[in-house]
Structure 1
């Protein structure tokens, strides 16, 4: 098993960052994400906690020889469960690959929470555990090493893409707020 962890700070309030997260795709930096479908969404009226289950369709750039050997497609599916707790000011997203999970499992947890220094920042933490299945035990270490490097690259690109989405979201939110203020006057 290989582990990955990354942290980052966004210079925006948690409410803004967590709202922008839902606008992350489509994203020019992450063209491999083809679709994001909501499968289920529930709201606990007592706690205000919103739980969302999504199916994410991605097209992986897997070499054709590997696809032929494994009998797989370049289309992969990921299941994600997101939990937003507005009182604790946390958005936690847990995902696991559904496609070829018998060969390689990638379990990822992302958390956005209000920064300990104050409400003007958001703390982002991303963790992943990558483990090769028994079918590839002989090559497991090589597969895990390759996958963790790829995950690190994709995480950096994904964070850059989200930063661009967040910037656009901030501009739209400020414009909407400005328009609302003008209408009040």
Structure 2
């Protein structure tokens, strides 16, 4: 098993980040064009804690390395199962996802956490990401290590693109909803 981890701080409040998170795969995010569908499987709010729990199926067009396709078969469409919890009292979003496609060859379990920044809690949001990547090629240690190393590197590249795309979504959300709030404060109807 290999572990990829990453942290950063977004210059947006937790409220902005937790709201924009639902628009992460929107059309104006040109870094997520590989995501072709996001289907909500279930959504519920715990009446005691106020925690919003959502299960989603994310469908992507992502090509696997040709040598893996040749060895194991498959196509470019992949599916990821995600469970997220938004805890408004603790101001914490936790998202856990796992791959469904190729899961007999490679297991990827990712956890992402958004919470107010320790340094500037009302103005910035800390992001923590960890992915546990395990190739399931028992007995083939060299191939297993190669698959895990390639997967970690691809995860690193995709993670960087994902943060860049999310920054664009955050900026667009701030502009759109900032204008809407200004209009409402001025007593005008938003467009």
TM-score interval (norm. to shorter): over 0.9
Q: Does 1:127 align with 2:130?
A: yes
Show the 5 A alignment for 1:1-185: 1-26=1-26, 27-117=29-119, 118-134=121-137, 137-138=140-141, 139-183=143-187
* Unmatched segments (≥5 aa) in structure 2: none
Q: Where has structure 1 moved over 4 Å in runs of 4 or more?
A: none
> How far did 1:47 drift?
1.0
Q: What is the rounded CA distance, in whole Å, between the counterparts of 1:137 and 1:33 in structure 2?
A: 32
Q: What is the rounded CA distance, in whole Å, between the counterparts of 1:177 and 1:144 in structure 2?
A: 47
C-alpha contact 1:109 1:128 (8 A) present in aligned 2: yes
C-alpha contact 2:63 2:75 (8 A) present in aligned 1: no
**Residue-pair matches, total:** 184
* TM-score (structure 1 length as normaliser): 0.95
Q: What is the rounded CA distance, in whole Å, between the counterparts of 2:182 and 2:134 in structure 1?
A: 49
* Unmatched segments (≥5 aa) in structure 1: none
